[in-house]
Amino acid sequence: MPFIDADTAVRSEYDVIVVGSGAGGGQMAYTLTMNGARVLMLEAGRKYDPVAETPMFQTPEMAPLRGSVTTDKPFGFYDATVDGGWQVPGEPYVQASSDPANRFDWWRARMLGGRTNHWGRIALRNGPYDFEPRSRDGLGFDWPVSYADMAPYYDKVELLIGVFGSNEGLENTPDSPAGCLLPPPKPIVSDLLIQKHSAKLGIATIACHRAVLTQPLDWKNSPAKLHPGNRAAQAIIARDMQRRAACIWATPCGRGCLIRANYQSPTVHLPPALDTGRLDIVTDAMVVEVTVGRKGQATGVRFIDKTTRKDRRATARAVVLAASACESVRILLNSKSAQFPQGLANSSGKVGRYLMDTVGSDLAGQVPRLESLPPHNEEGATGGHMYIPWWLYRDQAAGKLDFARGYHVEFGGGRRMPEMDTATGLEWLTGGTYGVKFKEDARRYYGSMVYFAGRGEMIPNEQSFCEIDPDVRDQWGIPVLRFHWQWSEHETRQAAHMQKTFAAIIDAMGGRVQKPAESDGTKAIHTGGSIIHELGGTLMGSDPNTSVLNKWCQAWDVNNLFVADGAPFPSNADKNPTLTIMANAWRVGDHILDRMRRKEL
């Protein structure tokens, strides 16, 4: 199961090069190697072993500044992102405008497994409507594939990575076939209160779907469903499933999980792929461009070995980019040659276009009924146990809303391990107390806050895109991205609607809002990119003149070049994107294998 060095990779022969080791790259490497392909994975970040490195049980007082948020560690000292964040030293990106309304924030995790090491693990399926948004309301783009095409791959990904949740039969909120989902954890006290009072407003609150093992995986039955007829793959994954433990309900998932109870690419996708003996991984390998042959086919990639700063080239029969949406765009735009002067796969001029994020808006409240509860532990499967799926499809269809597309609500509360900032910012409740009275107040209000975060669909637009900056290069000499960004009124009005909803729920609970609900959507909405769900840039479609990839995420212009992260997405449904990135990568991987068997690649 080799991690190899760049020199060895350059001398070896591969069927496929996969760039990136996150959700898309991890799934692609798994699918290909389990079915016989020889794969080289090139990852720009360092080697990272969650089993050895996760600070799972460390408490706040063991960390500098008691683990508080700093510029280097925006999610706190123990967060799993060991290299990266909003800024990567020596690897800048550029804003096209200095207006804050047009800013795009870009989160990058330079490490094996990328952002899957600390993602929120919310793993929702897109529904049938989400694949045909343009047909429904005339905006944006339809996918060239339907929910029916994707459903078998959602089933497989859920079985493989382990996702808890429930089937509720709600509109455009798909149920999974029996046996796919693990049982959800119990709601915590604030969840039950939110559920009770949201119901009065006609809003259903159901179990969240998150990639956390609430019980061991079904290693006896699932392998045959995952790999029908492939005994070797079944044996590998059955063995690996037994090595993953169930959640112990006690430690923050954002640090990663050394018992492998939640999904991270390096604990779930990469170990079985490495066990096949067909996966080689080179870390610290920064891919610069896809190289092309005389007939315009991809021959491999050029990358920089960051340990020596040397230029290297690796070759393969096919190349899959899964470096995260914007990084895959960057690689394509930097792959300029006499044959492809505007970058590779870009004859349509659409590479970098239709960049999307998720609409985000938050509100907090305090609920007297939750004050001074007897001490109890509500750590749970850290992260939400419940959520609110979009519930206003009918009102929207009847023209009662002033925006298109919906949002879901993630919420939290409860009594978790106190941290450095647990008793800060209470003045709006206490009026400002000190000494013994402050300690009493801190105990009284601890666990009585509730938090609501809306996560909504953005419609792709012509003003939101990235391109290569003509002047700026990173420390490796690679031209960097410049971002253009604009929310439309659909998104800002949606953010204002979120605020109204959150305030109504808090009010129904007998609580008070921390700040008044913001009615101006342009103020309520978070900065572009800040929800870290960036998608788009290599649109998949049915017409080579208006899209970059065909329905198999294969470049129209380059037969053996594929993209398997979030870049091909034609829309960004309110559902968090990562489960769909994985399902789509598995689908595309199956197609690559099929074409290799037919000697078409």
Ligand X SMILES: Cc1cc2nc3c(=O)[nH]c(=O)nc-3n(C[C@H](O)[C@H](O)[C@H](O)COP(=O)(O)OP(=O)(O)OC[C@H]3O[C@@H](n4cnc5c(N)ncnc54)[C@H](O)[C@@H]3O)c2cc1C
Residues binding ligand X (CB under 6 A): 19-25, 42-45, 107, 109-110, 114-116, 118-122, 285-287, 322-324, 327, 331, 532-533, 565-566, 576-578, 581
Q: How far is the CB of 539 from ligand X (least distance, A)?
A: 16
* Nearer of residues 415 and 490 to ligand SF4, judged by Cβ: 415
Min CB(414)–ligand X separation in Å: 18
Residues 381-410 that bind ligand SF4 (CB under 6 A): 381-382
Binding status of residue 80 toward ligand SF4 by CB under 6 A: no
Per partner kind, with CB cut-offs from 5 to 8 A, the member of ligand SF4, ligand X, none near residue 497 is: none
Strands (DSSP E) contained in 407-497 are 407-412, 449-456, 465-473, 479-484
Rounded to a whole number of angstroms, the minimum distance from the CB of residue 256 to ligand X is 12
Distance separating alpha carbons of residues 216 and 65, to the nearest angstrom: 36
Sequence-ordered alpha helix ranges (H) in 166-301? 189-200, 222-226, 231-242, 265-268, 270-275
Residue 18: name its binding partner from ligand SF4, ligand X, none (Cβ under 5 to 8 Å by kind). Answer: none
* Residue 261 touches which member of ligand X, ligand SF4, none, C-beta under 5-8 Å by kind: ligand SF4
Using rule CB under 6 A, residue 109 touches ligand SF4 = no
Kindly state the number of chain residues that form the binding site for ligand SF4, as judged by CB under 6 A.
12
Short-list 36, 32, 39, CA closest to 2: 39
Q: Is 456 left (phi over 0), alpha (psi -120 to 50) or beta?
A: beta
Report the alpha-carbon angle 82-87-93, nearest 5: 140
- All residues at 6 or more sequence positions from 480 whose CB lies less than 8 Å from its CB, including other chains: 91, 92, 93, 94, 330, 468, 469, 472, 473, 474
Contact criterion met (CB below 8 Å) for 454 and 533: no
Radius of gyration of the chain (CA): 24
Residue whose CB is less far from ligand SF4, 262 or 501: 262
**Of 42, 194, 261, 466, the one binding ligand SF4 by CB under 6 A:** 261
Backbone angles phi, psi at 374, to 5 degrees: -60, 145
CB-nearer residue toward ligand SF4: 244 or 317: 244
- Residue 427's contacts (CB-CB under 8 Å, 6 or more residues apart) are none
Measured from the CB of residue 293, what is the shortest distance to ligand X in angstroms? Answer: 21
Q: Is 182 among the residues that bind ligand SF4 (CB under 6 A)?
A: no
Q: Which of 44, 212, 301, 509 binds ligand SF4 (CB under 6 A)?
A: 212
- Asked if 319 and 16 count as a contact pair (C-beta separation under 8 A), the reply is yes
Task: Please choose which of ligand X, ligand SF4, none residue 262 contacts, taking the beta carbon within 5 to 8 angstroms, the exact cut-off set by kind.
Answer: ligand SF4
Work out what residue 115 binds among ligand SF4, ligand X, none; the CB cut-off runs from 5 to 8 Å by kind: ligand X
CB of 252 to ligand SF4, least distance (A): 6
Q: Are 263 and 244 in contact (CB under 8 A)?
A: no
Q: Is 455 helix (H, G, I), strand (E, B) or coil?
A: strand
Q: How far is the CB of 264 from ligand X (least distance, A)?
A: 10
- Which two three-digit tokens encode residue 510? 């007998």
537 binds, among ligand SF4, ligand X, none (CB under 5 to 8 A by kind): none
Q: Which does 55 bind (CB under 5 to 8 A by kind): ligand X, ligand SF4, none?
A: none
- Gap between the Cα atoms of 405 and 397, Å rounded: 10
Enumerate binding residues for ligand SF4 (CB under 6 A). Answer: 212, 247-248, 250-251, 253, 257, 259, 261-262, 381-382
